[in-house]
A and B are shown apart, each in its own frame.
Chain A
Amino acid sequence: MNLDLTTIRFPAPAIASILHRISGVVLFLALPILLWLLHRSLASGSDFAAVGELLQMPLMKLIVWGILAAVIYHLAAGVRHMLMDMGVGESLQGGRRGAYMVFAVSALLIVLTGIWIW
């Protein structure tokens, strides 16, 4: 039995699963940022303008992109999860294919989101 963890490679579905968890934790940590942005954007016209300016800053653009990337991945992996609940893609091959599809679809959408932001 191989117990040397450094030589064990995670299969694609395992990576898809751990990224689903990591993106979920990231989104929970992002909640106060999103609530704060929403709160200020609704407070007054000048606050709305201030939020608009803040979102133009390079660091904020990066943070927003990171949050949206987590939203996109978490949503794509969640859709796969619910398809698997319905019995779609539950085999070993199907699980791998689904994981690769989630990676491909979310990577494409994350790149498009980056283009939209910049």
Chain B
Amino acid sequence: MVTSVTNPGRNGLYDWLLQRVTAVVIGAYSIGLIGFLVLNPGLDYETWKACMGSLPMQMINTLVLVSVLLHAWAGLWIVTTDYLTRAQFGNAATGVRLVVQMLILLLCLVYLLWGLVMIWGGA
């Protein structure tokens, strides 16, 4: 039985877990990055570039980028299914919701490609 074709896991329980695992990754990274910036007020380009360009940071940044986009997709899927409904749009609801969800998904893919080029392309 297919109950939904637009949410990331096709299954609420899978989305639930995905949302939390990615949240832990993003939370730890955010605290670490903000802490680094607070502790290094006079940060110069060479240090910043060397830090972000090192292999461990490239891998961590990739993991975080993918986590952010999966987390955003799962979260915005919940928000769009809650607020873009027949109560607001009548019979057009499914179409409106699908278009908005596909635009969100398209943005996520653009950010993924942009982020990967930035992290690995040395741009």
Interface residues of A (CB under 8 A from B): 21, 24-25, 27-28, 31-32, 35, 38-39, 41-45, 48-49, 68, 71, 75, 78-79, 82, 85, 116
Q: Of the 9-residue stretches B4-12, B72-80, B86-94, which lies at the interface with chain A?
A: B72-80
Jot down 22 A-B pairs with beta carbons below 8 A, ordered by A.
Answer: A21-B79, A24-B72, A24-B76, A25-B76, A28-B76, A31-B68, A31-B72, A31-B111, A32-B111, A35-B114, A38-B52, A39-B114, A42-B49, A45-B45, A45-B46, A48-B45, A48-B48, A48-B49, A75-B30, A78-B27, A82-B23, A116-B38
Smallest beta-carbon distance A48→chain B, Å:
4
Q: Which of B27, B79, B115 contacts A24 (CB 8 A)?
A: B79
| Main DSSP-derived SS at the B contact region | helix
Interface residue ranges of B1-54 to A (CB < 8 Å): 20, 23, 27, 30-31, 34, 38, 44-46, 48-49, 52-53
Residues in B neighbouring A28, C-beta threshold 8 A: 72, 75-76, 104
Rounded to whole angstroms, the CA-CA distance of A48 and B43 in the bound complex is: 10
Is B98 close to A, CB under 8 A? no
Shortest 5 CB-CB distances between A and B: which pairs? Answer: A48-B45, A45-B45, A24-B75, A28-B72, A39-B118
Interface of A is mostly: helix
Residues on B facing A (Cβ under 8 Å): 20, 23, 27, 30-31, 34, 38, 44-46, 48-49, 52-53, 68, 72, 75-76, 79, 104, 111, 114-115, 118, 123
Closest residue of chain B to A22 (Cβ to Cβ) is B79
Q: Which of A41, A48, A75 contacts B27 (CB 8 A)?
A: A75
Residue in chain B with minimal CB distance to A29: B107
> CB distance B48 to A42 under 8 Å?
yes
